[in-house]
Amino acid sequence: MTTARIRDFLRTRRPEGPCLVVDLDVVRNNYTAFRHALPDSAIYYAVKANPEPEILKLLASLGSNFDCASVAEIQMALAAGATAERISFGNTIKKERDIARAFELGVGLFAVDSHEEVEKVARAAPGARVFCRVLTDGEGAEWPLSRKFGCVPQMAVDVLVYAHQLGLESYGVSFHVGSQMTKVDAWDSALADAKRVFAQLAKQGIFLQMVNMGGGFPTRYLRDIPSAEEYGKAIFASLRKHFGNNLPKTIIEPGRGMVGNAGVIKAEVVLVSKKSDNDEHRWVFLDIGKFGGLAETMDEAIRYPIRTERDGDDMEPCVIAGPTCDSADVLYEKNMYPLPITLTVGDEVLIEGTGAYTTTYSAVAFNGFDPLKAYVI
Amino acid sequence: MTTARIRDFLRTRRPEGPCLVVDLDVVRNNYTAFRHALPDSAIYYAVKANPEPEILKLLASLGSNFDCASVAEIQMALAAGATAERISFGNTIKKERDIARAFELGVGLFAVDSHEEVEKVARAAPGARVFCRVLTDGEGAEWPLSRKFGCVPQMAVDVLVYAHQLGLESYGVSFHVGSQMTKVDAWDSALADAKRVFAQLAKQGIFLQMVNMGGGFPTRYLRDIPSAEEYGKAIFASLRKHFGNNLPKTIIEPGRGMVGNAGVIKAEVVLVSKKSDNDEHRWVFLDIGKFGGLAETMDEAIRYPIRTERDGDDMEPCVIAGPTCDSADVLYEKNMYPLPITLTVGDEVLIEGTGAYTTTYSAVAFNGFDPLKAYVI
Residue A218 has pLDDT above 80, yes or no: yes
Residue A331 lies in a domain: yes
pLDDT for B1 equals: 86
**Helices then strands, each counted (H, E), chain B:** 10, 18
Contacts of B146 in chain A (CB under 8 A): 327-328, 330, 333
Nearest residue, CB atoms, A116 vs list B271, B277, B368:
B271
**Helices then strands, each counted (H, E), chain A:** 10, 18
**Residue B15 corresponds to which amino acid?**
P
Handedness of CA A152, A154, A160, A163 (dihedral sign): negative
pLDDT for A179 equals: 84
Cβ pair B363:A365 closer than 8 A: no
Residue from B115, B197, B327 whose CB has the most chain A CBs within 10 Å, to mutate: B327
For residues A97 and A178, state if they share a domain.
yes
For residues A253 and A270, state if they share a domain.
no
Contacts of B76 in chain A (CB under 8 A): 368
Range of the domain at A356: 261-376
For residues A199 and A165, state if they share a domain.
yes
Q: What is the pLDDT along chain B (377 residues), one digit of tens a residue?
A: 899 999 999 999 999 999 999 999 999 999 999 999 999 999 999 999 999 999 999 999 999 999 999 999 999 999 999 999 999 999 999 999 999 999 999 999 999 999 999 999 999 999 999 999 999 765 666 655 678 999 999 999 999 999 999 999 999 999 998 888 888 888 999 999 999 999 999 999 999 999 999 998 888 888 889 998 999 999 999 999 999 999 999 999 999 999 999 999 999 999 999 999 888 899 999 999 999 999 999 888 899 999 999 999 999 999 999 999 998 999 999 999 999 999 999 999 999 999 999 999 999 999 999 999 999 99
For residues A190 and A297, state if they share a domain.
no
Q: Is B146 on the interface with A (CB under 8 A)?
A: yes
Nearest CA-CA partner of B57 in B66, B48, B70 = B66
Main-chain phi, psi angles of A229, to 5 degrees: -60, -45
Contacts of A333 in chain B (CB under 8 A): 146
For residues B121 and B146, state if they share a domain.
yes
Active site residue A325: yes
For residues B301 and B204, state if they share a domain.
no
The CATH number of whichever domain residue A369 belongs to comes to 2.40.37.10
Angle at B26 between CA B21 and CA B28, to 5 degrees: 120
The confidence band for A37, taking pLDDT boundaries of 50, 70 and 90, is very high
Distance (Å, whole) CA A11 – CA A8: 5
Overall number of domains in chain A: 2
Tens digits of residue pLDDT in B105-136: 999 999 999 999 999 999 999 999 999 999 97
- Rounded alpha-carbon distances, angstroms, from residue A316 to B45, B348, B350: 39, 52, 49
Residue A14 lies in a domain: no
Residue A370 lies in a domain: yes
Tens digits of residue pLDDT in A266-291: 999 999 999 998 888 999 999 999 99
pLDDT for B138 equals: 56
End position of a domain, from candidates A211, A233, A258 = A258
Residue A138 has pLDDT above 90, yes or no: no
Contacts of A71 in chain B (CB under 8 A): 368
For residues B329 and B292, state if they share a domain.
yes
Contacts of A371 (CB under 8 A, 6+ apart): A292, A293, A359, A362, A363, A364, A365, B364
The confidence band for A93, taking pLDDT boundaries of 50, 70 and 90, is very high
For residues B191 and B296, state if they share a domain.
no
pLDDT for A140 equals: 61
By CB neighbour count within 10 A (0-12 exposed, 13-18 middle, 19+ buried), where does B23 fall?
Answer: buried
Residue B295 lies in a domain: yes
Query: Mind spelling out the 3-state secondary structure of A9-55?
Result: HHHHHCCCCCEEEECHHHHHHHHHHHHHHCCCEEEEEEHHHCCCHHH
Residue A2 lies in a domain: no
Q: Indicate the length of chain A as a whole number.
A: 377
For residues A37 and A157, state if they share a domain.
yes
Residue B20 lies in a domain: no
Q: Are B276 and A152 in contact (CB under 8 A)?
A: yes
pLDDT for B141 equals: 62
For residues A193 and A265, state if they share a domain.
no
For residues B230 and B322, state if they share a domain.
no
Tens digits of residue pLDDT in A312-345: 999 999 999 999 999 899 999 999 999 999 999 9
Residue A13 lies in a domain: no
Residue A344 is inside which H or E element, if any?
none
Q: Is A214 on the interface with B (CB under 8 A)?
A: no
Residue A52 has pLDDT above 70, yes or no: yes
End position of a domain, from candidates B229, B258, B287 = B258
Distance (Å, whole) CA A287 – CA A268: 6
The CATH number of whichever domain residue B157 belongs to comes to 3.20.20.10
Distance (Å, whole) CA A187 – CA B9: 50
pLDDT for B352 equals: 98
For residues A54 and A169, state if they share a domain.
yes
Contacts of B165 (CB under 8 A, 6+ apart): none
Residue B16 lies in a domain: no
End position of a domain, from candidates B238, B258, B278 = B258
Cβ pair B154:A277 closer than 8 A: yes
